[in-house]
Amino acid sequence: MSVTIPYRPALAGLEPYGAPQLDVPVTLNVNENPYPPSAEMIADIAAAVADAAASLNRYPDRDFLALRADLADYLAAESGVRLSPEQVWAANGSNEVMLHILLAFAGPGRTVISFTPTYSMYVEYARDTFSEWQTLPRRDDFSLDLEKLPEELARIRPAVILLASPNNPTGTALTGDELSAVLDAAKGNGPADAPGSDCLVVVDEAYGEFRRDGVPSALELLADHDNLIVSRTMSKAFGAAGLRLGYLGAAKEIVDQLQIVRLPYHLSAVTQAAARAALRHSASQLSQIAALREGRDAIVRRLHSLGLDTAPTDANFVMFGTFPDRSEIFTRVLDRGVLIREVGPAGWLRVSVGTPEENEAFFDALEEAMK
């Protein structure tokens, strides 16, 4: 690196985030919905974008209340929880949603925590907002150690707790009792520079639509906890990863703070139009969820038949293992045209749920690799 450029010391030697993007027949590494949008949805998006293009000389709606109202309607239908548009916020993917949260509530002198193994981007959000980062270990079954949590929060005094449910990379979902226990432990244990405050609890439900029947959404607890944020995305179950639309539900007071740190006009008119058009097809998009759940459970059963362990999963992926040399298995599977993910604790691999044909190709490759 040139010595004349003022690089940030904290970024020296770091590589940008990114899962491998390889040209192979079967890609099961980034937890996408394997089914493309319907022809009707594509046509609706195209028409909506064309309408938006007629006024691209003007800035987009800065507050996008119409989109927020549509997202609130979707959450009411999906989870049974009715929020006002003012309680919903959106950004360019849940990545930017998380960045807004930490910009508004963390930052220099404040700490963000999560529970390992956890989503690998969380530490980067903390780094980019100059926040301190700490982690607490999960138990061997990837559940939270709730007995020690109040003591740990009183010691660390975090501003923000990041919890993925279902968790990435393990797929583990939080029960209603676990969610309540975390929220109770957060009371009064907020950052030292805000005496008497609660920790902000962020539940990242990027894979929330894939949860099993009876597993609650954290949205059900919003009415009773003003320090709770629930994040969602249109990238996974909705099958719109290319749209880049993430959003959250929270108390209006929290959303008001997020508007302070967002960049002006951060959601383009094209994004708003495309997202609203896609939401009009939510019923058809989510009709695929049952098949993907069944595919996930079939993958788990077949992995067990091969003598492999799996982490309990409520997502559209399965973490499986363990292997003495997971890199060797990963490479052998890749050599057979199937891209999975080398992520999580040592010895484990992760595979996304694909179409039946893709799932079969994965097992053909895996069984050959294990020989």
141/106 Cα distance (integer angstroms): 30
Q: What percent of the chain has pLDDT over 70?
A: 99
Label residue 4 by pLDDT band (50, 70, 90). confident
Look at residue 164 and give its three-state secondary structure.
strand
pLDDT of residue 165: 97
Q: What gap in Å lies between CA 208 and CA 156, rounded to an integer?
A: 28
217 CB burial (10 A radius; 0-12, 13-18, 19+):
buried
pLDDT tens digits for 59-68? 999 999 999 9
Residue 2 has pLDDT above 70, yes or no: no
Q: pLDDT digit string (tens) for 166-211? A: 999 999 999 999 999 999 999 999 999 999 999 999 999 999 999 9
Q: What is the pTM of this model?
A: 0.95
Dist. CA 66–CA 79, nearest whole Å: 20
Mean pLDDT value of segment 24-52: 96
Tokens of 310: 């799996």
pLDDT interval class at 1 (50, 70, 90) = low
Residue with tokens 């099961």: 28
- Region label for 18, one of left (φ > 0), alpha (ψ between -120 and 50) or beta (otherwise): left
Average pLDDT over residues 346-366: 98
Average pLDDT, the chain: 96
CA distance 266 to 60: 9
Higher pLDDT pick, 157 / 287: 157
Q: What is the distance, to the nearest Å, from the Cα of residue 154 to the centroid of all Cα atoms in its chain?
A: 27
One-letter amino acid identity for 173?
A
Q: What is residue 5's predicted lDDT score, i.e. its pLDDT?
A: 85
Closest CA to 137 of 152, 117, 153: 117
CA 312 to chain centre: 17
For residues 309-341, one letter each, b for 16 or more C-beta atoms within 10 angstroms of the residue's C-beta and e for the rest, the string is: ebbbbbbbbbbbbebeebeebbebbbebebbbb
For residue range 218-264, what is the model confidence (pLDDT) as tens digits?
Answer: 999 999 999 999 999 999 999 999 999 999 999 999 999 999 999 99
> Using an 8 Å Cβ cutoff, are 342 and 331 in contact?
no
Helix, strand, or coil (residue 40): helix
Residue 333 to residue 218: CA distance in whole angstroms: 37
Per-residue model confidence as pLDDT tens digits over 81-133? 999 999 999 999 999 999 999 999 999 999 999 999 999 999 999 999 999 99
List phi, psi (to 5°) of 362.
Answer: -60, -45
- End-to-end CA distance of the chain: give it in Å, rounded: 45
pLDDT of residue 342: 96
